[in-house]
Amino acid sequence: MSRLGDTRHDIEVLDDDTRPLAPRFEGLTAAQQLPGRHLRMIHAHFRDTMGRLSALIEQAAAGTVSPEELAQRAGAVPIVDNYRRFGTLCGEHCRVIEVHHAIEDEWIFPELRDRSAAMRAVTDRLLAEHRVVHALLERLLEALDALAREPDEANFAAARDLYAAFEKTLASHFGYEEDAIGDALGVYGVGV
């Protein structure tokens, strides 16, 4: 376990090497593979958006885009256009991630949890990782609020660093989740 952040807002980031192993399933039918593929498609949408936003953040940090151009390019990201209609980008992104995780926490993980000791360990770990992701989201929102109030270099650097930590943590979580429960969803008939 490692810590991220300052003395006011420590966040424990779980060590990927301590993740429990999930059971492996052989000979899955095409129908059994569908829920895992669906989960990967949902995560791919988040990954795509994070990658596009990360590239824009790096361009802003390098000074290769003006604030106006940054806003215009960010607006071209499909999910950003949807967010613009329904709320702020980060606020809505947080809400979408929270809804996604709430569905998993309340519906999917309980269906898998009692299937075996291994699935219990996996779902418990995924729940713990959700708490870390949400703590990072809250910190990111705080950093972005500070940046909006005072758009200086220190606040930009803080927001950029938190976004990088969030992106890395969430991408790792998605990969583990897909590998750990993707096949189990189909084997146990749990829809996504």
Domain boundaries, the chain: 30-187
Helix, strand, or coil (residue 64): coil
Rounded Cα–Cα distance for residues 152 and 75 (Å): 22
pLDDT, residue 5, reads 45
CB 164 within 8 A of CB 140: no
Structural fold of domain 30-187:
Four Helix Bundle (Hemerythrin (Met), subunit A) (1.20.120)
pTM: 0.81
Contact 89, 71 (CB under 8 A): no
Per-residue confidence (pLDDT) for residue 137, from 0 to 100? 80
- Between CA 34 and CA 32 the distance in angstroms is 6
Tally Cβ neighbours within 10 Å of residue 130: 20
Residue 54 pLDDT? 79
What is the pLDDT, as a whole number, of residue 6? Answer: 42
Identify the pLDDT of residue 8.
34
Instruction: Give the number of other Cβ atoms within 10 Å of residue 185's Cβ.
Output: 23
What distance in Å separates the CA atoms of residue 14 and residue 28, rounded to the nearest whole number? 31
Segments of the chain with pLDDT less than 50: 1, 3, 5-9, 79-80, 82-89
150: helix, coil or strand? coil
Residue type at 5? G
Q: Which amino acid is at 54?
A: S
Contact 33, 157 (CB under 8 A): no
C-alpha separations of 160 from 89, 139, 166, 170, 185 in Å: 15, 12, 10, 15, 35
pLDDT of residue 60: 73
Tell me if 22 sits within 8 A of 181, measured CB to CB: yes
